[in-house]
Amino acid sequence: MMKYTLLLLFMLSSLYGAELILTGTVISNNQKMIPARYMGYVKKIHFEVGDSVEREDTLFELESAEFDILESQADLALEQAKLMVDVYQTRLNVYKNRKKRLKRDRKLMSASNYRADMEEMSDSMDNVTASIESAQVLVEQVSEKTKQFATIAGYLKIKAPNNGILVDKRIQVGDMVAPGMLTMILVDMDHLEVEAEVAESDLKYVRRHKVVRIKIPSLNYKASGYIKAIVPSANPMAHTFKIRVHFEKTSDMIFPGMYAKVFVDLTNEIVNKI
């Protein structure tokens, strides 16, 4: 019986190669759609399609006349508020010095004059102190507004969220963009996968975390990986399912869009069936 089983297994292996061969495509697991976050005209573009970018690189810049006016007004208001604080602080220091001299010259003055001058000096200092506090509150309020404009300024400089290659650019200098408008597509080249389709009849041979082999014929590149996911939505026309195969990239020549093959070992399935 054992000899018959081995002979049958050998015949099946010879007939089918004991492998399910799937065709697929190399894709990036981290593709970013870069939108505009503020309305304005494109002032400068720093990268073109095919360029490599690093995280936090400025991809392009926007300009907005309305924003520039508001930002200038906020900066001017902040400078004026700080100047008011300095003026009142200087005035307070003058009153403090006068108060010191008044105390020093007390013996040369009558008690009534000294008391009247001291009361007048204290009232003036209280008024100036209140003015300083009001000006400091104004500085805080305007500073908060300038921080908001700084945030908006960050929206005008669109930065790369991660390392990658720019694969699509849909804007030109002088174009008007609106919030949410797609401007660029950035592809992470360090996290690649193979996406393949498997027929419904062969779906029983694949499962998550199963180890498979992949090959990229154009590079004669071979590697091992595992089935990361089985997409549970079938193609109603071809009755196929998509699978994602994770593998470790060891060559800089592998790019999204390359043709790939996935080899699923069927030996265990054949043995279990027998």
In a domain, 215, yes or no: yes
Here the CATH number for the domain that contains residue 240 is 2.40.30.170
* Cβ proximity of 75 and 146 under 8 Å: yes
**Could you report the per-residue pLDDT of 172-195, keeping only the tens digit for each?**
999 999 888 999 999 998 889 999
In a domain, 5, yes or no: no
Give yes or no: residues 112 and 237 share one domain: no
Rg for the chain (alpha carbons), in Å?
Answer: 37
Give yes or no: residues 126 and 249 share one domain: no
**Could you report the per-residue pLDDT of 242-262, keeping only the tens digit for each?**
999 999 888 889 999 999 999
In a domain, 7, yes or no: no
Give yes or no: residues 46 and 167 share one domain: yes
In a domain, 109, yes or no: yes
Give yes or no: residues 208 and 89 share one domain: no
**The total number of structural domains that make up the chain:** 3
Cα torsion at 158, 160, 161, 164 (round to 10°)?
Answer: 160
In a domain, 9, yes or no: no
Give yes or no: residues 138 and 252 share one domain: no
Give yes or no: residues 112 and 247 share one domain: no
In a domain, 83, yes or no: yes
pLDDT category at 17 given cuts 50, 70, 90 is: low
- Between β-strands 40-45 and 176-177, what pairing exists: parallel, antiparallel or unpaired? antiparallel
In a domain, 172, yes or no: yes
Q: Is the dihedral of CA 102, 106, 109, 111 positive or negative?
A: positive
Q: Which of 112-121, 157-166, 220-229 has the lowest mean pLDDT?
A: 112-121
* Cβ proximity of 26 and 223 under 8 Å: no
**Residue 162: domain span:** 32-64+157-187
CA atoms within 13 A on the CB side of 100: 6
In a domain, 8, yes or no: no
Q: What are phi and psi of 53, to 5 degrees?
A: -130, 155
Q: What is the pLDDT of residue 46?
A: 95
* Cβ proximity of 47 and 166 under 8 Å: yes
Give yes or no: residues 225 and 165 share one domain: no
Instruction: Report the predicted TM-score, pTM, of the whole model to 2 decimal places.
Output: 0.58
